[in-house]
Amino acid sequence: MDKQLIKSLAQVVGEQYTLADRESLACYGYDSTPELESRPGVVVLPGNQEEIGKVLALCHGAGVRVTPRGSGTNLSGGSISFDGGVILQTSRLNRIIEIDEENLTATVEPGVVTSALHREVEAKGLFYPPDPGSMNISTMGGNVAENSGGLRGLKYGVTADYVMGLKTFLADGELLKTGGKVVKDVAGYNLNQLLVSSEGTLGVFSEITVKLIPKPQCKKTMLVHFPQLEQAALTVSQIIAARIIPATLEFLDRVTIKCVEDYAHVGLPLDVDAVLLIEVDGHPAVVEEEAAGIRAICERQGCSFFQTAATADEALKLATARRVALSALARLRPTTILEDATVPRSAIAPMVKLIQETARKYDLTIGTFGHAGDGNLHPTCLTDERNRDEIERAHRAFAEIFEATIAMGGTITGEHGVGVAKKKYLPLLVGNAGLRVMRGIKGALDPNGILNPGKIF
Amino acid sequence: MDKQLIKSLAQVVGEQYTLADRESLACYGYDSTPELESRPGVVVLPGNQEEIGKVLALCHGAGVRVTPRGSGTNLSGGSISFDGGVILQTSRLNRIIEIDEENLTATVEPGVVTSALHREVEAKGLFYPPDPGSMNISTMGGNVAENSGGLRGLKYGVTADYVMGLKTFLADGELLKTGGKVVKDVAGYNLNQLLVSSEGTLGVFSEITVKLIPKPQCKKTMLVHFPQLEQAALTVSQIIAARIIPATLEFLDRVTIKCVEDYAHVGLPLDVDAVLLIEVDGHPAVVEEEAAGIRAICERQGCSFFQTAATADEALKLATARRVALSALARLRPTTILEDATVPRSAIAPMVKLIQETARKYDLTIGTFGHAGDGNLHPTCLTDERNRDEIERAHRAFAEIFEATIAMGGTITGEHGVGVAKKKYLPLLVGNAGLRVMRGIKGALDPNGILNPGKIF
């Protein structure tokens, strides 16, 4: 990294927020994606929104590449700089600028932690539904860049459904304002939604305005065991067919159940194929009816156990089984490959079976859990990156799983992004026309290709 | 129009679906936008999806411009060919291809009429919420291209919120598939949402997959009179502050009330400043509570009349006051300029006042009605395009209204599109950076500029 550029960057953000020592560069050299590591040339932490623009203008002028980064919880290598470029770290920009109770919006800086926003708005009787698994550390900037999902996606949608306005610094440092507090806006192309899920390749957010909704009055949490996988899958279909849309409809398979029980001792049985965690929320009368409807469907499908949480504490305990799934699986082996193949929800049962068969075929341990109501599964391979033979088999297995996902009308990533980890599968999904259009857009917005280069395509 | 090209087009879609006679060209020379007319060179009506691609490939090769068109209900001149080009008329592509009850999706061709889709899905207990004013004639292709809103936008959102998958023919005739039936998909840029509201400038839709939701179990319709405008505006704010999100929260001002009463004799008073039409829907218990809450707020604000529809017929009658507003205003003078300035909902009262003051200043009759809950107003100027002086004053008045809208954090168009009618206001709203990015995207997707040229920017 050019010493003069580092000096210029330090003049913008300050010496103490320009990190170029070995230890710092090592810390920013990886994110939550396994098998990937690469040290940046320098890390800068802007202290206000304008500094983002100044950093970009400098790098654009110098032809130096920039990777924006929040908390580094990215699961597709999106927050790693692979070319010794600049990491633009947003964590100092962590102000909740406004909660507008009249227009039901919140405006935040990109470094605000997702669950901090949850707490602030819920204290006012409002609700920001997106709740990615990493919400206690992930930032809003990262959530918007990746279009993060979460456990409440089935009823409430994902981050994209809540983004109303953005301030974004383009590659050359020019500020672009899109959307705002109006709930209807069709003036020109929908750049807001183009920027959401662009994975830091089209611009760097400096301000985000999201929609809020009234907080649901109450909720009911249910945990259900099924001896057979098909019973759980049919239950999911029949709940939707009964015109009930739960807030949460989560699934754990046998491998995951065993790991969770070993880890958290929440009383899960070891002889069932599937567990569903179901939450309904809203008006008390609706919650009662929907919970009763769900119980009837589960029993008709032959569930072996049905528990409704009697208290909020008990609800938390039931939800623990799902919330700890990843940690429970991750402790079994040194390397955890967490994927997010997503299919139309009607294809959940064949998809889980295919994952299990593929695991057997390649002699791998794959636990599957995830958002059954969304068709968004997390097949999680437990392996060891030092075992090259096993890692190779894992890659071959996931290649087959993604091909099958696409054949079922699904997608290679429901909520984790393409980054570098899924690049090779994207052409299969979007075809030549899709790639051509995406490359054209990237070229139009970032002609010098300095923004998070090498990601997506 | 080149005779050889017309012959080639006729070979693709058939002689009888290639219209080049004077009468046909006159019929396709205007849409629902006042003051605009221009005859195309030829009109083609493809009979299947592939023919769209073939028509585009021919025109792309010949460098001839193409304007896609549904029912011509466009309000910004978007479906008029201003350069004697080709009108690509989608009305023969009117199949509802599938209603998938398991995945809660409907897949349609672009020529399907919006209300026809409503009827089909509601017969299955499902619901497609977007209900633009023109829904009995407008097509789904047009709705997606314009991101149409409607009366249920406050609670249910607009067309964009329901588009899950698109098949789109690009300018050169290549087919682009985006999205599908998965409810979570972050594989690459969100081209789906870029194409929604692109007003026919980026591609021509051949297939549209939309999300469906369960049909609300019941609804309650209320009509409320307010002596003072501020009372109505405060009522809107306080309903939202009470965390009630009605499906519909519509407003009529004094000018509109008088016109509606003269036209439809629905019993509206002539001495009030504002009428609100409010609908809540959902579970019976929720509907009861929300309706009671709304009544209390209206009474606290000093409404002079509050009526709840006792039957479905009565509800239809109450809604008539709002549904006929445009027709009632339009019969007063030969030319109706219907705008869709949109502000954050907290700015509804100052916005209505500003419109009324501007009307007085320029000696114009402007009736205002619209979606108060969305901040999406329809100031409607009643004029006569033969009176050039008055038309000039109308244009000056709207220029001031749009400037004020932008100053209040609003937008120049909430649901009607930019087309040619709003082009001159767009730079004011999106700035240089916004225009630069939009032009870059247009250049990337349609390098020869053949798709609906001259629209948006």
Say which of B430, B433, B444 has its CB closest to residue A441: B444
Summarize the confidence of residues A274-287 as an average pLDDT.
Answer: 96
Locate B324 and state its tokens: 């006929």
Residues in chain B: 457
Mean pLDDT of chain A: 96
Contact criterion met (CB < 8 Å) for A187 and B376: no
Interacting residues of B213 by C-beta distance below 8 A, sequence separation 6+: A245, B104, B126, B127, B129, B156
Summarize the confidence of residues A111-137 as an average pLDDT.
Answer: 97
User: Min CA distance, B439 vs chain A (Å)?
Assistant: 9
Residue B1 has pLDDT above 90, yes or no: no
What pLDDT score does B159 carry? Answer: 98
Going from N- to C-terminal start, the domains of chain A cover 3-89, 96-214, 218-326, 333-446
**The CATH number of B96-214 is which of 3.30.465.10, 3.40.50.300, 3.40.50.12280, 3.50.50.60?**
3.30.465.10
Per residue in A16-47, pLDDT (tens digit) is: 999 999 999 999 999 999 999 999 999 999 99
Summarize the confidence of residues B139-152 as an average pLDDT.
Answer: 96
Interacting residues of B195 by C-beta distance below 8 A, sequence separation 6+: B144, B166, B168, B178, B202, B203, B205
For residue B161, what is the nearest residue in chain A, using CA coordinates?
Answer: A161
Contact criterion met (CB < 8 Å) for A190 and B186: no
What pLDDT score does B105 carry? Answer: 97
Residue B402 has pLDDT above 90, yes or no: yes
For residue B239, what is the nearest residue in chain A, using CA coordinates?
Answer: A102
What pLDDT score does A1 carry? Answer: 86
Residue A151 to residue A154: CA distance in whole angstroms: 8
**Confidence label for B120 from pLDDT (cuts 50, 70 and 90):** very high
Per residue in B69-104, pLDDT (tens digit) is: 999 999 999 999 999 999 999 999 999 999 999 999
CATH number at A333-446? 3.30.70.2740
Q: Are strands B86-89 and B66-69 parallel, antiparallel or unpaired?
A: parallel
Per residue in B411-440, pLDDT (tens digit) is: 999 999 999 999 999 999 999 999 999 999
Summarize the confidence of residues B130-146 as an average pLDDT.
Answer: 97
Locate A294 and state its tokens: 């769900």
For residue A410, what is the nearest residue in chain B, using CA coordinates?
Answer: B182
Q: Which residues of B touch A250 (CB under 8 A)?
A: none
Contact criterion met (CB < 8 Å) for B185 and A146: no
Per residue in A367-380, pLDDT (tens digit) is: 999 999 999 999 99
Contact criterion met (CB < 8 Å) for A438 and B188: yes
CATH number at A218-326? 3.30.70.3450
Size of interface A-B (CB pairs under 8 A): 275
Architecture of domain A3-89: 2-Layer Sandwich (3.30)
Say which of A283, A413, A456 has its CB closest to residue B285: A283
Summarize the confidence of residues A246-273 as an average pLDDT.
Answer: 94
Interface ipTM: 0.96
Say which of B181, B414, B431 has its CB closest to residue A182: B414
Residue A315 has pLDDT above 90, yes or no: yes
What pLDDT score does A364 carry? Answer: 97
Say which of A410, A429, A445 has its CB closest to residue B440: A445
Q: Which residues pair with B381 in a beta bridge?
A: B337, B366
Q: Which residues of A touch B194 (CB under 8 A)?
A: 189-190, 193-194, 441
Say which of A160, A345, A432 has its CB closest to residue B190: A160
